[in-house]
Amino acid sequence: MKTISELENFMTRPSNELKRDLAKLDGDIMVLGVGGKMGPTLMRMIKRALDEIGSDKRVIGVSRFSKGNLEKELQGYGMETIAADLLDDQALHSLPEVKNVIYMAGNKFGTVGNEHFTWAMNTYLPGRVAEKFKDSRIVSFSTGNVYPLTRISSSNCSEDTPVNPVGEYAQSCLGRERIFTYFSHKNNTPMLMFRLNYAIDLRYGVLLELAKQVNEGEAIDLTMGNVNVIWQGDANEYAVRSLLHCDSPPEILNITGPETLSVRWVAEEFAKRFNKKALFINEEDSKALLSNASKAHRFFGYPKVSVQEMINMIAVWVQSEGLTFNKPTHFQEREGAF
């Protein structure tokens, strides 16, 4: 896999399980904040699945669409788009009513020095959205950053683990969950909190960052010595299928792969493929940001793309000098400063 077209075709291929669940789902689907890293492929996956089952459900993407050609690209695939600033109340309330909402809007990087905007996007806006779509199902993207660091020897943080977010980004994300939960109680709106870490694409993500460091001979900091990942296509499928699991009060799901990956092991796997030596600094801390997603796996099954497949694809992508996004995950961050 060496081209964007091949990557996106693979990533947006709908599974039989997704098509089955979409056939069960009543109503149109709106994706709020579709302009991020995951939104475009999520929408394409939905559209492909709907086309394959012969459904006339609408799939609508909402974003500012202030840069690039994304809006035209989505329209070219037969999807509807609406250009809107969700923080503008008039624009928000002019959106059509739909039965199903996937909420992907938010702010993470650039929080330091711009905390007020992060809180507006991550905590204030969800309340406005919840009032607007009180009669809809809402799947809200959240993050595993709401959990504390946990011992690597533990079973990782489950949905029952008490939250303890570090830093304003993670705190504002917990604020998002709390505000949505308030309106779920108030309006009996079925919702689901989608606590994701970390999605992997060939163009960004933890594994790409480690691959590039190995390939370029950079030393890898092992302090955050373990990590969870999931292929973006699998995460997108889980998000759509989560619409059938919304509830009031909201359902909570951790979304990641089943493995606790050693950063050292991942780097050494890339080193084998590049015929290079992986360089390291520091030692693995006894704690890391780790989630237990066994509940989601019970709902949806295990991810279809394995860690070894991701490593193989990323190694080829890096060696082929494939396009990458300049969007580092900062997964090594332990103090919550994004």
Q: What is the CATH number of the domain that holds 55?
A: 3.40.50.720
Positive or negative, the CA dihedral 81, 87, 88, 93 is positive
**309 found inside a domain:** no
Per-residue pLDDT, 101: 98
Mean pLDDT, the chain, whole residue set: 95
247 assigned to some structural domain: yes
Distance between CA atoms of 30 and 10, rounded to whole angstroms?
23
Phi and psi at 235, nearest 5°, equal: -60, -40
pLDDT at 181: 98
Residue 130 maps to a domain: yes
Integer Cα distance of 202 and 240 in angstroms: 21
- In the block, which residue shows the tokens 């580092």? 328
CB atoms within 10 A of CB 278: 22
Average pLDDT value for residue range 256-260: 97
Pairing of strands 279-281, 219-221: parallel
Residue 302 has pLDDT above 80, yes or no: yes
If pLDDT is split at 50, 70 and 90, which confidence band does 108 have?
Answer: confident
- Collapsing DSSP to helix, strand or coil, 274 comes out as helix
Whether residue 297 is predicted with pLDDT greater than 80 in this model: the reply is yes
Q: Is residue 331 part of a domain?
A: no
Query: pTM of this prediction?
Result: 0.95
Work out how many domains the chain is built from and give that number: 1
Q: Is residue 267 part of a domain?
A: no
Please give the pLDDT value at position 335: 77
Buried b (16+ CB within 10 A) or exposed e, 257-270: beebbbbbebbebb
Domain annotation covers residue 278:
no
Q: Does residue 163 carry a pLDDT above 80?
A: yes
Residue 262 lies inside a defined structural domain of this protein: no
d(CA 155, CA 304): 22
Q: Give residue 244's domain range.
A: 4-202+229-256+290-298
Quick one: pLDDT band at residue 329, thresholds 50, 70, 90? confident
- Residue 56 burial (CB < 10 Å; 0-12/13-18/19+)? exposed
Residues 204-251 have pLDDT tens digits of 999 999 999 999 999 999 999 999 999 999 999 999 999 999 999 999
Is 80 exceeded by the pLDDT of residue 109?
no
From the number of C-beta atoms within 10 Å of its C-beta (0-12, 13-18, 19+), residue 281 rates as exposed
**Any domain includes 102:** yes
